[in-house]
């Protein structure tokens, strides 16, 4: 009986171990079916919250600056008008969706990247090429 009491007390001192399983990033497509990044045929770049925190970027344009096929024009410092160009197109050709809703100015036709709060961004997906026309 003494052995059973001692073994129970020993096991109670150890905290339960948690195991985490790393999942492949899921990309939301225009057909509303989830695909992993390696299954999609389009040129897609996914920037997660961890990537944003690791880069210590203060604005969306700083996060997008190093991506392939993206050019950024900024008229000053933080908070000034920012335009994003994808693969040589005009800035009003870039479609910006936030939670599936189109965002942009009715007069300029482009999104105000300088006004997006970095604290509220969970992930950024950049879709290039003909697959983006589905959106």
Domains delineated in the chain: 41-134 (2.170.130.10)
Band of the pLDDT at 50, cuts 50, 70, 90? Answer: very high
Phi, psi values for residue 97, rounded to 5°: -115, 130
Query: Which of 11-25, 56-70, 121-135 comes out lowest in average pLDDT?
Result: 11-25
pTM over 0.85: no
Name which of 14, 28, 132 is nearest 70 in CA terms: 132
Phi, psi values for residue 71, rounded to 5°: -115, 145
What confidence score (pLDDT) does residue 106 get?
72
CB 92 within 8 A of CB 109: yes
Phi, psi values for residue 20, rounded to 5°: -110, 140
- State yes or no: pLDDT of 4 exceeds 80: no
DSSP string spanning 17-70? P----PPPPEEE-TTS-EEETTT--SEEEEEEHHHHHHHT-SSHHHHHTTSTTE
CB 62 within 8 A of CB 51: no
What are the tens digits of pLDDT across the range 66-122? 888 888 888 877 777 888 888 878 887 888 888 888 888 777 778 888 888 888 889
User: Which tokens in the block code for residue 87?
Assistant: 């693969």
What confidence score (pLDDT) does residue 72 get?
85
CB 126 within 8 A of CB 67: yes
């Amino acid at each position: 009986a003494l052995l059973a009491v001692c073994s129970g007390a020993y096991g109670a001192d150890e905290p339960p171990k948690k195991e985490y399983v790393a999942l492949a990033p899921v990309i939301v497509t225009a057909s509303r079916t989830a695909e992993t990044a390696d299954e999609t045929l389009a040129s897609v770049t996914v920037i997660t919250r961890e990537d944003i925190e690791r880069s210590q970027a203060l604005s969306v344009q700083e996060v997008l600056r190093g991506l392939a096929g993206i050019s950024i024009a900024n008229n000053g410092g933080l908070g000034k008008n920012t335009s994003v160009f994808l693969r040589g197109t005009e800035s009003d050709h870039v479609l910006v969706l936030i939670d599936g809703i189109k965002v942009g100015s009715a007069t300029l036709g482009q999104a105000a990247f300088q006004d997006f709060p970095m604290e509220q961004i969970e992930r950024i997906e950049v879709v290039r090429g003909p697959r983006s026309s589905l959106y």
